[in-house]
């Protein structure tokens, strides 16, 4: 893959066009496979978040912290399946757990031997969980939690936040998504408690739930300030609403998730991603009085079904991963590694004197092409998109794999040498593309 070229006397648009042309030239097999997929899938795609213009790369296999594409290129994986790939690719204990599950049969149509053990491990790990139920994804977990809140409270309004992502039908980056679940949403500004309180005031008696990520994940790795999240806890209490923490991504950021790290307990928590050990997984749980509304022995029980909720492979891989691999000690170590890496990257761009920064917490981080403080999705949107796209293509050319929107998630398979490789790639980008930052600042 090509080294970066010095960008003196070139515009951002021209540099980006050059980078995209290099991308096309170096990935002919991925392009061919994409064109074949277009014949049978809309956009050649079944998952919008992994589409990339001008076309996505076709990844053929993963091993440890590395990915290999159809054109023979190798990448260090700093995306880790958008936080779900915490264990890296083909972790030997996860592989063994899946094989153990296969020995038991795939879908038993009954209670299995492991689901109560897995549920007990989750309840022991996350402070707000007194009871828990399983789903197939984080999207389903949020759908069930929000639906339960509406049913239990008899209210309709759901407070969410700009930049929030709670799954395919709860997408609030750039406002409301037309195919969101048809609930009555109030869209607040993240980390702005005063504005949120004013927004909610006319609707307090009809507020069923507050659904919030303790750190915006897909929205730019923007940590929720403790006073803001504590304020939401108080607001839910005062309004008689149910506070839901979406920890589908952020549960990895401390042994007991951000709720433990911040000392703020929600009424319900939603989980997913890595907790299935790489298998499809979601969960929602919380206070016993709320979750017991799903007890099928009750005459007024809320219904919750799902053919694959307790599938054998997920129960086996998830239990092994949480109890044997991602122990509290490993969680602390991985997130300390992430804190050090993010600090190092920010020091590199500071030394290069370019308006660029990395936000996040622990093992999740995002890049932004602005030096201004970022507390909300609106702040993040002020970064220069062209430079972020160029950053993606330049680092991809250096063998660094991450999301084009600028998102990184660390896995247990990465080591200090991998972190140094990322830091060197960022330094080269900042040095080589420095003249373009001046153009971006003039345009702003």
87 is catalytic: no
- Cα–Cα distances (Å) from 321 to 108, 164, 264, 314, 330, in that order, read 22, 27, 25, 10, 11
User: Coil, strand, or helix at residue 431?
Assistant: helix
Q: At what angle do helices 12-26 and 434-443 cross, to 10 degrees?
A: 130
Distance between CA 247 and CA 257 in Å, rounded? 7
Query: Residue 141, CB half-sphere, CA atoms under 13 Å: how many?
Result: 32
Distance between CA 110 and CA 107 in Å, rounded? 8
The encoded tokens of residue 390 equal 């160029």
Q: Are strands 364-368 and 407-409 parallel, antiparallel or unpaired?
A: antiparallel
Give the count of beta carbons closer than 10 Å to the beta carbon of residue 75.
22
Distance between CA 290 and CA 4 in Å, rounded? 56
The encoded tokens of residue 110 equal 């009954």
- Please list, in sequence order, all residues whose beta carbon lies within 8 angstroms of the beta carbon of residue 56, skipping any fewer than 6 positions away: 30, 34, 44, 45, 50
Q: DSSP letters of 117-175?
A: HHHHHHHHHSTT-SEEEEESSHHHHHHHHHHHHHHHH---EEEEETT-B-STT-B-TTS
Catalytic position from the list 23, 75, 87, 165: 165
Q: At what angle do helices 115-125 and 312-320 cross, to 10 degrees?
A: 40
23 is catalytic: no
246 is catalytic: yes
355 close to 342: Cβ distance less than 8 angstroms: no
Catalytic position from the list 157, 273, 388, 404: 273
User: Coil, strand, or helix at residue 35?
Assistant: helix
Catalytic position from the list 246, 267, 379, 394: 246
24 close to 34: Cβ distance less than 8 angstroms: no
Could you give the residue numbers annotated as active site? 165, 246, 273
């Amino acid at each position: 893959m090509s080294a970066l070229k010095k960008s003196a006397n070139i515009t951002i648009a021209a540099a980006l066009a050059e980078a995209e042309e290099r991308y096309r030239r170096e990935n002919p097999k991925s392009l061919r496979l994409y064109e074949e997929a277009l014949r049978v899938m809309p956009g050649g795609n079944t998952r919008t978040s992994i589409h990339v213009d001008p076309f996505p790369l076709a990844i053929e296999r993963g091993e440890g912290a590395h990915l290999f594409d159809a054109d023979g290129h190798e990448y260090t994986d700093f995306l880790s399946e958008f936080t779900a790939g915490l264990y890296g690719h083909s972790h030997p204990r996860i592989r063994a757990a899946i094989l153990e599950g296969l020995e038991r049969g795939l879908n038993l149509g009954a209670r299995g031997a492991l689901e109560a053990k897995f549920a007990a491990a989750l309840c022991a790990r996350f402070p707000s969980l007194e009871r828990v139920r399983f789903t197939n994804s984080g999207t389903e977990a949020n759908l069930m939690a929000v639906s339960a809140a509406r049913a239990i409270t008899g209210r309709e309004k759901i407070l969410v936040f700009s930049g929030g992502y709670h799954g395919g039908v709860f997408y609030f980056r750039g406002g409301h998504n037309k195919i969101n679940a048809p609930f009555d949403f109030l869209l607040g500004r993240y980390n702005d408690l005063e504005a949120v309180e004013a927004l909610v005031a006319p609707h307090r008696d009809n507020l069923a739930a507050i659904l919030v990520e303790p750190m915006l994940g897909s929205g730019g790795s923007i940590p929720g300030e403790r006073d803001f999240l504590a304020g939401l806890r108080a607001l839910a209490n005062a309004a008689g609403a149910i506070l839901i923490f979406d920890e589908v991504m952020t549960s990895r950021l401390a042994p007991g998730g951000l709720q433990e790290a911040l000392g703020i307990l929600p009424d319900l928590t939603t989980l997913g991603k890595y907790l299935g050990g790489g298998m499809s997984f979601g969960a929602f749980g919380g206070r016993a009085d709320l979750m017991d509304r799903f007890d099928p022995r009750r005459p007024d029980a809320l219904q919750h079904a799902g053919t694959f909720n307790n599938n054998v492979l997920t129960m086996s891989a998830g239990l092994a991963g949480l109890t044997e691999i991602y122990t509290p000690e490993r969680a602390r170590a991985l997130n300390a590694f992430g804190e050090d890496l993010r600090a190092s990257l920010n020091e590199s761009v500071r030394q290069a004197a370019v308006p660029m920064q990395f936000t996040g917490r622990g093992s999740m981080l995002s890049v932004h092409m602005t030096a201004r403080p970022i507390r909300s999705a609106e702040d993040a949107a002020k970064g220069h998109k062209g430079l972020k796209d160029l950053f993606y293509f330049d680092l991809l050319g250096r063998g660094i794999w991450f999301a084009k929107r600028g998102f990184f998630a660390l896995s247990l398979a990465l080591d200090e040498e991998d972190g140094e490789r990322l830091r060197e790639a960022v330094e080269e980008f900042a040095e080589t593309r420095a003249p373009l930052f001046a153009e971006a600042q003039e345009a702003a």
